[in-house]
Structure 1
Amino acid sequence: MSSATLAGTTALVTGAARGIGRAVAERLGREGAAVALLGRGATSLEAVHTALTERGTRTVAVVADVTDPEAVRRAVGRVEDELGPLDLVVNNAGLIDAAEVPFWEADAAQWWDVVETNLRGPVNVDRTVLPGMVSRGRGRIVNLSSGFAVSADPHYSAYTTSKSALLRLTDTIARPLAERGVHVFDISPGAVPTDMTAGMAMFADKTDWYDVDFFLNAVVAVAEGRLDALSGRFLHAGKDDLDALAARAEEIAAIDARTMHLRPYGPDDPQR
């Protein structure tokens, strides 16, 4: 039973119509947050909106494509008019490469669709919500990341490129945002069973899926402020003991761990 730890807060979830996005929206609602749902499909989005409303969650559903900056601005404006200023944003909307093929064989248009959705989408959302968060001196953003962000897979070059770039963006903006009371995280849920992963050939025979609750618990921990000291770090919800990492945050920061680095070839490497 929920303890409603997020009562009085407002969250926005992109890609909220299904899969992880819907699960995040439902969990945040159970925790007492008002939840804004953003997605491209009106019918599927409305189904989530109805389910949340029936459970007593304050919610609004807005149809918008995250790759369209003007549509995002209009959506966020409507959300804040109806639910109030945003405390939490979960950038979940994403695409995966349509086929497991080498980069040079990939469909060019679909390749860019993946990168635009996975990278430009969060950029558009963040540039829209961050001025308000910074002016209020509070706010938290969760980017849905992946193990592909730190371990490239040549069969998914668009997805890998987009998630790695998003990780670098998070690393780049985290410190100046933290100085202003705003915290940003890249969190991988691991491979969880969704429509997207079901269509990936590499997971055709997979049975040892991660439990999506690991990721949902991580999002709640972020929303509650328990992971602020790890802002800017790559976290894997399925593998990490997040409370233990938070307890070691100073140590992690001192060695700049869980951020992207060029690995030196030795002590005489001029890039060391």
Structure 2
Amino acid sequence: MSYENLAGRTAVVTGAASGIGEAVAVTLAAQGARVALLARRAERLEAGVEKIRADGGQALAVAADVTDDASVAAAVERIHEAYGTVDLVVNNAGVMLPNPIEAARVDEWQRMIDTNVTGVLRVTGAFAEDLTEAAAQGRSADLVNVSSIAAHLTGFPGFAVYGATKAAVTHLSAMLRDEFGPRDVRVTNIEPGVTETEIVSHLADGMQEQVGGMMEAFGALAAGELADVVAYVTSRPRHVNLRQIMVLPTRQV
């Protein structure tokens, strides 16, 4: 599918080594955007960049950890040197480490908070000036945060802390519109339902079975289908902001 208004854009996608992030980077590049792929796994990033370049797109691999100030600062400097001002940021990096609350896995709670919440804040703050500058120049400027339907739904034992971090992202996105909207920067919060991603393979056995059961019952979204949503919302005329989108398999209620 082809979208107008993405050619010539400069995008940053976090969590771009696999899954939704990689699919978003590939999709935006296919529409003519220059894309900086950010993640910790350098080898996986390079593979994504090679794929984009083989298809004629422009891409840059930037190994970075969104939980580290210095790492993000270095990434921003490298992207500015290569591409200049960024006008499209996709906060996709996230971790899902479900466990019963009585397990008291403070290490896992902290990792999810650091990545899913503080990481989003850190990247948003790092590129806020870029986005407002691009908008002031009359260009489209977008901040897209990938949250989760877990921000709203209950009925998933063990996912309380993960859901809480995603609820924070959803609320943050709404509040950021108060700051960015009057300056013509669009903020979009996307909440996927059950999705086929690598993140599921990182779960403990019991939790893998739980998520696998949901996939069997509901079906699952493909990463490329979420990427298509990102491309759609960021390619609308610059005065149109699709602020909140839930994307679910049809059978997930």
> Using the alignment, how far apart are the partners of 1:214 and 1:139 within structure 2?
22
Cα deviation digits, residues 53-88 of structure 1 (max 9, x gap):
111111111111001122112212211221221111
User: Partner residue of 2:103?
Assistant: 105
Report the Cα offset of residue 227 of structure 1.
8.4
> Using the alignment, how far apart are the partners of 1:175 and 1:33 within structure 2?
27
Amino acid at match of 1:203: V
- Pair 4,230 (structure 1): closer, same or farther in 2 beyond 3 Å: closer
The TM-score, its normalising length taken from structure 1, stands at: 0.80
- Pair 228,161 (structure 1): closer, same or farther in 2 beyond 3 Å: farther
The answer as to 2:178 corresponding to 1:175 is yes
> Using the alignment, how far apart are the partners of 1:140 and 1:3 within structure 2?
15
Report the Cα offset of residue 180 of structure 1.
0.2
Kindly indicate whether the alpha-carbon contact (under 8 Å) linking 1:140 and 1:223 is maintained by their aligned counterparts in 2: yes
Report the Cα offset of residue 175 of structure 1.
2.2
User: Partner residue of 1:11?
Assistant: 11
Kindly indicate whether the alpha-carbon contact (under 8 Å) linking 1:191 and 1:197 is maintained by their aligned counterparts in 2: no
Give the alignment of 1:87-102 within 5 angstroms: 87-97=87-97, 99-101=98-100
- The partner residue of 1:235 within 215, 228, 245 is 245
User: Partner residue of 2:115?
Assistant: 117
- The partner residue of 2:165 within 157, 162, 177 is 162
User: Partner residue of 2:43?
Assistant: 43
> Using the alignment, how far apart are the partners of 1:112 and 1:72 within structure 2?
19
> Using the alignment, how far apart are the partners of 1:109 and 1:63 within structure 2?
23
Cα deviation digits, residues 155-189 of structure 1 (max 9, x gap):
11221111111111111111221100111111022
> Using the alignment, how far apart are the partners of 1:227 and 1:82 within structure 2?
25
- The partner residue of 1:144 within 140, 143, 146 is 146
Per the alignment, in what secondary structure is the counterpart of residue 72 of structure 2?
Answer: helix
Q: Using the TM superposition, name which of 135-144 and 182-191 deviates more.
A: 135-144
- Pair 222,144 (structure 1): closer, same or farther in 2 beyond 3 Å: same
- The partner residue of 1:189 within 177, 187, 192 is 192
Structure 1: gaps of 5 or more residues: 241-272
> Using the alignment, how far apart are the partners of 2:159 and 2:118 within structure 1?
18
Kindly indicate whether the alpha-carbon contact (under 8 Å) linking 1:139 and 1:183 is maintained by their aligned counterparts in 2: yes
User: Partner residue of 2:22?
Assistant: 22
Kindly indicate whether the alpha-carbon contact (under 8 Å) linking 1:188 and 1:215 is maintained by their aligned counterparts in 2: no
Kindly indicate whether the alpha-carbon contact (under 8 Å) linking 2:20 and 2:224 is maintained by their aligned counterparts in 1: no
The answer as to 2:236 corresponding to 1:225 is yes
Aligned-pair Cα RMSD in Å: 2.1
Report the Cα offset of residue 145 of structure 1.
1.1
Cα deviation digits, residues 98-134 of structure 1 (max 9, x gap):
x432x23141111110111000111000001012211
The answer as to 2:210 corresponding to 1:202 is yes
Report the Cα offset of residue 228 of structure 1.
5.7
Identical-pair percentage: 32
Per the alignment, in what secondary structure is the counterpart of residue 17 of structure 1?
Answer: coil
Per the alignment, in what secondary structure is the counterpart of residue 153 of structure 2?
Answer: coil
Radius of gyration: which is bigger? 1
Report the Cα offset of residue 42 of structure 1.
1.1
Report the Cα offset of residue 93 of structure 1.
0.6
Of the two structures, which has the highest relative contact order with CA contacts closer than 8 Å and spacing of 6 or more? Answer: 2
Kindly indicate whether the alpha-carbon contact (under 8 Å) linking 1:134 and 1:177 is maintained by their aligned counterparts in 2: yes
Kindly indicate whether the alpha-carbon contact (under 8 Å) linking 2:194 and 2:220 is maintained by their aligned counterparts in 1: yes
Amino acid at match of 1:221: Y
Structure 2: gaps of 5 or more residues: none
Report the Cα offset of residue 136 of structure 1.
3.1
User: Partner residue of 1:34?
Assistant: 34
User: Partner residue of 1:126?
Assistant: 124
- Pair 84,110 (structure 1): closer, same or farther in 2 beyond 3 Å: same
> Using the alignment, how far apart are the partners of 1:21 and 1:36 within structure 2?
11
